[in-house]
Structure 1
Amino acid sequence: MKQPKPNFYNLAWRWHFYAGLFVAPFMVMLALTGIIYLFKPQLDSLMYSSLLNVPAGHHTVPADDLLQKVKSAYPRGQVTQYLPPANAERSAQFVVKNAGHELNVFVDPYHGDILGEQDAKQNLQALARAIHGELMIGTVGDRLIELAAGWGVVLVVSGVFLWWPRGQAAGILWPRLNSRGRVLWRDLHAVTGFWGAALLLVMLLSGMTWTGFWGKQYAQVWNVFPAAMWNNVPTSDVEAGSLNNAARQTVPWAMENTPMPMSGDHAEHMAHGGMQHGPAAPIISLQDVQNIAVERKVEPGYSITLPTTATGVFTIAVFADDPRNDATLHVDQYTGKVLADVRFEHYGAVARATEIGVMLHEGKMFGTFNQIVVLLICLMILLSAASGVVIWWKRRPQGKFGVPPLRHDLPKWKTGVAIMLVLAVVFPLVGASLVVWLLDRLLLSRLGRQTESASTSS
């Protein structure tokens, strides 16, 4: 009897299986590290209370005096950033590069006492963020995360098709809790995946905007500002995104591919030693820069990044929980002139939507409610991954670790191929991996046929 030819449903099922096989470990890791970073405010207050909290006082010490205290404590260190207290009961913070380490140094803003230090890249939240973003292995990790997120989209799309109702509601909109064994696990997997599909897509797509390949292309297409915004100031070939790294976010996503302005003009640089790329020698004080932030009503919680070269600028930036309060200001280190002041209203429509998506992704937009929603999504991911493994284990070929057998009694879905092609184009790394997989399948099947033909003829 001739074996029926596998239809698209079976192909979608295979894609779903292989995507799950690759994606599941990454999704579990992203969910677990995401939960840790999601509750950063609560965990920080619990773990680092002695560093973060101070009794409210009446008069604060000027920022430059605090800076001198830190420089005296770390004579060989380089202070790169200052974070003024976010409120009256919070400490001030300096970021110091010292002996090969990046340190967060906490200072009492009322007395100038150094409260302690924290390794900026080895604390719980920084580690969770670095693993979440690039597996702590740089560009390779970033590409793996991007590939997993792209295949995560394939997983959701193929999963929704496989879930699509065919005349019954039980096991579709709610699980059959009175069932046992594989049926119950299948219902938990399918129903949980369906109700969370839209939210998971939002999480995957908003997360991918940070990736180094797809995210960068996306930003270059959609994240644009009028060139006139920088017409009257000299700009460098350094982008604002250079202020961000895997463990620390300084400028908002929308600002990452904007140019960094330069301080002063050529004559001023010559007057300060003639080296445009020499060390920074700011004339304005750190307190002056803080006063600019206050005068321009930048939301508390902002950071001030110090210039590192003679042409560098002070950068005031806040990546606000509510993106409408985002602000990025570049200040000339010699004159105190604000060279650029970019706010949410200057973003394009797509950049605004992306920033809102990122804040929803991080659970910051609507406070505790947003955290609970994202926590439920993370738990859904963990349940889906666990139930998927159980389903595979119960359906695997007897005594083997292979793919469960195909079914041939289900309808075709002709538009599915078109959707997969669109996904392959939209997410190039997915398309590249799909091409490699198809070539591998074709070559292996041809080789298999040749081997079978050779053995038959002999």
Structure 2
Amino acid sequence: MKKNKLLNQWLWRWHFIAGLISLPFIVVLSLTGGIYLFKDKYEKPIQEPITTVAAVGTPISYQKQWELANARMENKPNAMVVPMNPDQATEFVSGRFSHKTSLFVDPYRAKVSGTVKANEGLMYKVRKLHGELLMGSFGTKVVELVASWLVVLILTGVYVFWPFRNQGLKAFFIPRVKEGKRIFFRDVHAISGFWVSGLLLLVLAGAFPWTDVVGSNFKWVQDVTQTGYPNTWMGIGLKSETGTKKVSLDDMVETAKALELPGTVSIGFPKSEMGVYSISNTYYRDLEKQVKYHYDQFSGEPVLKQTWADVGLLMRGRMWVMAFHQGQFGAWNWYLMLLVALLLAVMSISALVSYSLRKRKGHWGVPKVSKNFNAGYGVVIALIFMGFLFPLFGLSLLLIWMGFQVKVYFRKRREPAM
């Protein structure tokens, strides 16, 4: 591929600017993301005294367990995780996401074994640092801005890098070691960035649904196009027939176990006096095997069955990239995300080292672009498109452009008249 030299200079300039804006933050995000991958391994031994019980004696009924949980929880439980092993405590859940609280009941000793809150513990702090830099809503927007500029870094970096020197295939794998430290770290940055670029774009696709602006816009598109979860997926609009006696929780557990669903199986409790029970499974290894069954709370008869195919296309895509982002598809996905986090850290740190060796004192070292360069309609349209797709990026780009215009204006004012 023969590159346009002037375009290459211009893209290198913006790659440099994007790096100055985002690389220090990217180091933090890569390290915290890598650490958060160990969440389950870190928390399992800590929570084991709560989640594991001694299977001795006769367990009390699930209905009795629900009564124990309901009396102890601040908010009424909205779901129960079906225990599949005799030594597994029964988990009752209230709230969702960071507001989720899980209370565990030991059915053999008829007592609460403990409580786990999603917004407590070391890994929750790591997650908050990763997602919002411990700065709340403002930090979330900073992370979104950094992620937007990282897309620019990837796209411009691939163009600038390939082919960046006449060494054949060797240039894509081996950094130069005999041309000084700056060149070595520059090559480490370029090579690691090139090989991780495609995966990074996929990882970023899984990150944007959590952001404030892009995430909200995506949800709006889902609502308008009706490509999210159907309302009935959460039991909305479904009603039980009038009855005199409600089905016991024990009967619903038997029904759930008889379905033999893969993954973690949960029973959602009726949300109203005439609501329905909902049995579903969470199975990240194969999202297509996730199903939802709704049952009449009086008769126990099935009301509606829904499969993953009933979920809208955008929501299915969104859930796939979010699960991939968290390494939830199995060991291969987990190790791949760990590799991405490590390469991203190496890429970022090597770029910062190379920049520090290149930078002259008193200068930012922003690459210059020939005055003869004209971006062209294609580049302008691409920037406008990215500005709409990533609004915070568009706003920051506008502010940078205005800053350059002010700098040019005052430079001309200082020039002596001819």
TM bracket, shorter-chain basis: 0.7 to 0.9
| DSSP 3-state at the match of 1:79 | coil
Residue 289 of structure 1: how far off its partner (Å)? 4.2
Number of the residue aligned with 1:452: 414
Number of the residue aligned with 1:194: 194
1:20-59, aligned counterparts within 5 Å? 20-55=19-54
Partner Cα separation in structure 2 for residue 406 and residue 384 of structure 1: 23
Residue 72 of structure 1: how far off its partner (Å)? 4.1
Number of the residue aligned with 1:244: none
Q: Is the contact between residue 20 and residue 155 of structure 1 (CA under 8 Å) also seen in structure 2?
A: yes
Q: Is the contact between residue 223 and residue 351 of structure 1 (CA under 8 Å) also seen in structure 2?
A: no
Where does structure 1 lack aligned partners over 5 or more consecutive residues?
1-5, 228-252, 273-281
Q: Is the contact between residue 9 and residue 412 of structure 1 (CA under 8 Å) also seen in structure 2?
A: no
Number of the residue aligned with 2:368: 406
User: Residue 153 of structure 1 is aligned with which of 141, 147, 151?
Assistant: 151
Q: Structure 1 residues 51 and 427, CA, compared in 2 at 3 Å: closer, same or farther?
A: same
Number of the residue aligned with 1:246: none
Number of the residue aligned with 1:276: none
Residue 372 of structure 1: how far off its partner (Å)? 1.1
Q: Structure 1 residues 348 and 224, CA, compared in 2 at 3 Å: closer, same or farther?
A: farther
Number of the residue aligned with 1:360: 324
Partner Cα separation in structure 1 for residue 349 and residue 356 of structure 2: 11
AA aligned to 1:91 is A
Partner Cα separation in structure 2 for residue 382 and residue 325 of structure 1: 35
Residue 149 of structure 1: how far off its partner (Å)? 1.6
Partner Cα separation in structure 1 for residue 231 and residue 213 of structure 2: 14
| DSSP 3-state at the match of 1:302 | strand
Q: Is the contact between residue 81 and residue 304 of structure 1 (CA under 8 Å) also seen in structure 2?
A: yes
Q: Is the contact between residue 58 and residue 110 of structure 1 (CA under 8 Å) also seen in structure 2?
A: yes
Segment drifting more, 177-186 vs 283-292: 283-292
Partner Cα separation in structure 2 for residue 437 and residue 298 of structure 1: 53
Number of the residue aligned with 1:376: 339
Q: Structure 1 residues 126 and 324, CA, compared in 2 at 3 Å: closer, same or farther?
A: farther
1:133-144, aligned counterparts within 5 Å? 133-135=131-133, 137-144=135-142
Q: Structure 1 residues 264 and 308, CA, compared in 2 at 3 Å: closer, same or farther?
A: closer
Number of the residue aligned with 2:91: 93
Segment drifting more, 306-315 vs 173-182: 306-315
Where does structure 2 lack aligned partners over 5 or more consecutive residues?
none
Number of the residue aligned with 1:182: 182
AA aligned to 2:200 is L
| DSSP 3-state at the match of 1:342 | strand
Q: Is the contact between residue 84 and residue 92 of structure 1 (CA under 8 Å) also seen in structure 2?
A: yes
Partner Cα separation in structure 2 for residue 352 and residue 381 of structure 1: 27
What's the Cα RMSD here? 3.9
Q: Structure 1 residues 11 and 65, CA, compared in 2 at 3 Å: closer, same or farther?
A: same
Residue 43 of structure 1: how far off its partner (Å)? 1.8
Number of the residue aligned with 1:261: 236
User: Residue 301 of structure 1 is aligned with which of 264, 288, 298?
Assistant: 264
* 1:166-208 residue CA offsets vs partner (Å, 9 max, x unmatched): 4333444322245541011011100000111111111011221
AA aligned to 1:376 is L
| DSSP 3-state at the match of 1:261 | coil
Q: Structure 1 residues 224 and 286, CA, compared in 2 at 3 Å: closer, same or farther?
A: farther
* 1:250-293 residue CA offsets vs partner (Å, 9 max, x unmatched): xxx8569977514648x97xx99xxxxxxxxx944444443443
Q: Given the two structures, how large is their TM-score scaled by the length of structure 1?
A: 0.74
Identity of aligned residues (%): 26
Partner Cα separation in structure 1 for residue 126 and residue 307 of structure 2: 29
Partner Cα separation in structure 2 for residue 225 and residue 318 of structure 1: 26
Segment drifting more, 137-146 vs 431-440: 137-146
Q: Is the contact between residue 27 and residue 349 of structure 2 (CA under 8 Å) also seen in structure 1?
A: no
Q: Is the contact between residue 196 and residue 380 of structure 1 (CA under 8 Å) also seen in structure 2?
A: yes
* 1:131-163 residue CA offsets vs partner (Å, 9 max, x unmatched): 433445554333333222221111100111111
| DSSP 3-state at the match of 2:104 | strand
Number of the residue aligned with 1:129: 127
Q: Is the contact between residue 230 and residue 310 of structure 2 (CA under 8 Å) also seen in structure 1?
A: no
AA aligned to 2:124 is A
Residue 352 of structure 1: how far off its partner (Å)? 3.8
Counting matched residue pairs gives 407
| DSSP 3-state at the match of 1:106 | strand
Residue 396 of structure 1: how far off its partner (Å)? 1.2
Partner Cα separation in structure 2 for residue 381 and residue 257 of structure 1: 41
| DSSP 3-state at the match of 2:284 | coil
Q: Is the contact between residue 78 and residue 96 of structure 1 (CA under 8 Å) also seen in structure 2?
A: yes
Partner Cα separation in structure 1 for residue 143 and residue 208 of structure 2: 9
Number of the residue aligned with 1:345: 309
Partner Cα separation in structure 2 for residue 338 and residue 396 of structure 1: 69
Partner Cα separation in structure 2 for residue 119 and residue 385 of structure 1: 34
